[in-house]
Amino acid sequence: MHPHASALVSRIVSRAVAEMTDRYHNLTAAAVLLVAAIAAVISYQHVVALAIRYGQPALAAYLLPVSIDGLVAVSSLVMLRSARLGVASPGLARTGLILAIIATLACNVGYGVAHGWPGALLSGWPAVAFVVAAEVAITMTRREPSRKPVAEPGAGPARATSKPAARSASKPAGRGIEAAAEAARKAVLEGQPVPSARSIARVHHIGRDRASEVRREVLAASNGHAAEA
């Protein structure tokens, strides 16, 4: 097969696979949200009925399941955000999620326990379904590690070789008296003027007095003249 034709076929197949993956992801997310919504509605009715049965005012009975299942949702959203950012989930969010799971499971089971263990199991199932759906949603939206961009042919080696050159060109001067003396002697050998004591002290991070001594010694060794500090 011609190379261009092979590349075209590969590109078409890759695009088709990506579209199928996106469709699968969207269908899965829709199914998870549907299960979570159904479980939340049933759990809400169970908790409201249980609260009214045990003497809670009407307003409290209608708001109580919101505080319980709402805490599950809030804690899950906080953990979801942490997962997307790639950081550890807050301990308070994990604690709140555990407490909310226990509370919603206890309330749903308590609603159906009057009808025996079959009623308790049936009533407790919406709480389990809601929590599992929330965790599945978190897992689906967890951020994947970013992929490194693929360098084009011939671009990688050039970039790799240019960085060491830039680093070597910007290599800082050595510190200390020995480095200062070596730099001053090199300047003399190259026919350049010896830097001033202030410049030597600043570049090589030594005291002004030491820099003056280094400058005098180098000048005395090369020309036999004393240099002014």
Q: pLDDT for 33-72, tens place per residue?
A: 888 888 889 989 999 999 999 999 999 999 999 999 888 8
Higher pLDDT, 130 or 109: 109
Instruction: Say what the pLDDT of residue 179 is.
Output: 82
Asked whether residue 31 falls in the same domain as residue 97, the answer is yes
**pLDDT of 166 strictly over 60:** no
Q: Do 128 and 18 reside in the same domain of the chain? A: yes
Q: Do 19 and 130 fall into the same domain?
A: yes
Please indicate, yes or no, whether residues 11 and 53 belong to a single structural domain of this protein: yes
Q: Domain limits at 196?
A: 173-229
Q: Mark which of 99, 120, 140 sits at the end of a domain.
A: 140
Residues 120 and 203 occupy one common structural domain:
no
Query: What is the mean pLDDT of the segment spanning 81-109?
Result: 87
Name which of 103-107, 165-169, 181-185, 224-228 the model is least confident about.
165-169
- Residue-wise DSSP of 41-76: HHHHHHHHHHHHHTT--HHHHHHHHHHHHHHHHHHH
Q: What is the pLDDT of residue 103?
A: 93
Please report the pLDDT score of residue 46 as a whole number: 92
pLDDT, tens digit, for every residue of 167-219? 444 445 567 788 888 888 887 788 778 788 888 887 877 887 887 888 888 88
Domain count, the chain: 2
- The pTM score is 0.50
Contact partners, residue 62, CB within 8 Å, separation at least 6: 48
Let me know whether 86 and 14 are in one domain: yes
As a whole-number percent, the residues of the chain with pLDDT over 90 amount to: 17
Higher pLDDT, 142 or 64: 64
Q: How far is CA 3 from CA 6, 8, 10, 16, 152, in A?
A: 5, 9, 11, 20, 18
Average pLDDT, the chain: 75
Residue at token pair 């280094």? 214
CA–CA separation, 229 and 213 (whole Å): 8
**Does position 102 have pLDDT exceeding 90, yes or no?**
yes
Distance CA 222, CA 224 (A): 6
Using the predicted structure, report yes or no on whether residue 98 has a pLDDT greater than 80: yes
What is the per-residue pLDDT for 27? 83
Q: Give the type of residue at 79.
A: M
Asked if 40 and 115 sit in the same domain, the reply is yes
Does residue 167 belong to any structural domain of this protein? no
Residues in the chain, total: 229
Of 19-23, 88-92, 179-183, give the lowest mean pLDDT range. 19-23
pLDDT value, residue 142: 58
Q: Is the pLDDT of residue 15 over 70?
A: no
Higher per-residue pLDDT: 134 or 47: 47
Domain boundary at 115, 140, 165, which? 140
How far apart, in whole angstroms, are the C-alpha atoms of residue 123 and residue 108? 5
pLDDT classification of 12: cutoffs 50, 70, 90: low
72, 130 contact by CB (below 8 A): yes
